[in-house]
């Protein structure tokens, strides 16, 4: 059975890039570009890891991570923030929101796989 990774990013190009890196390694990607729908996708798809962009309209990744980690069921799913925000304060803030990992864009295929393999 393939391990399912939920990718949440408002950039279709970023989604396609991550899918192309994960799928040859035996992961099944489920992708959305609207963070307001993340809970319904989690309920229907049951991912083992969430790759979550930070800079998104409507609901940013920090807010989403905080909401997920505060939920009894969703909080058990590892969340890796995937973002161009690379300052120490951004990383600290991500940890404060409950993120399990932090991956800075641009990243290599090896960086992405290493981050996902920690949890999947």
Domain span holding position 50:
3-117
Flag the least confident range among 34-38, 52-56, 84-88. 84-88
Number of domains the chain is built from:
1
Tell me, yes or no, if the pTM score tops 0.85.
yes
Average pLDDT over residues 74-85: 96
Neighbours of 52 (CB within 10 A): 27
CA-wise closest residue to 33 among 47, 5, 53: 53
Domain of 89, CATH number, reads 3.40.50.2300
Tens digits of residue pLDDT in 102-120: 999 999 999 999 999 999 8
- Residue 29's contacts (CB-CB under 8 Å, 6 or more residues apart) are 4, 5, 6, 7, 15, 18, 19, 22, 23
69 burial (CB, 10 Å; 0-12 / 13-18 / 19+) is: middle
How much is the average pLDDT of 45-70? 96
**Residue 66 scores a pLDDT above 80:** yes
Q: Which two tokens stand for residue 40?
A: 């319904």
What sign does the dihedral 48-112-6-45 (CA atoms) show?
negative
């Amino acid at each position: 059975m393939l391990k399912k990774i939920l990718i949440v990013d408002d950039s279709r190009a970023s989604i396609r890039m991550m899918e192309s890196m994960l799928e040859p390694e035996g992961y099944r990607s489920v992708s959305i570009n609207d963070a307001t729908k993340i809970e319904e996708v989690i309920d229907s798809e049951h991912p083992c890891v969430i790759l979550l962009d930070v800079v998104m309209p409507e609901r940013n990744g920090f807010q989403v991570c905080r909401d997920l980690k505060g939920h009894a069921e969703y909080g058990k799913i590892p969340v890796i923030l995937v973002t161009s925000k690379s300052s120490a304060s951004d990383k600290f803030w991500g940890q404060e929101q409950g993120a399990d990992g932090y991956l800075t864009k641009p990243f290599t295929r090896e960086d992405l796989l290493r981050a996902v393999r920690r949890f999947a």
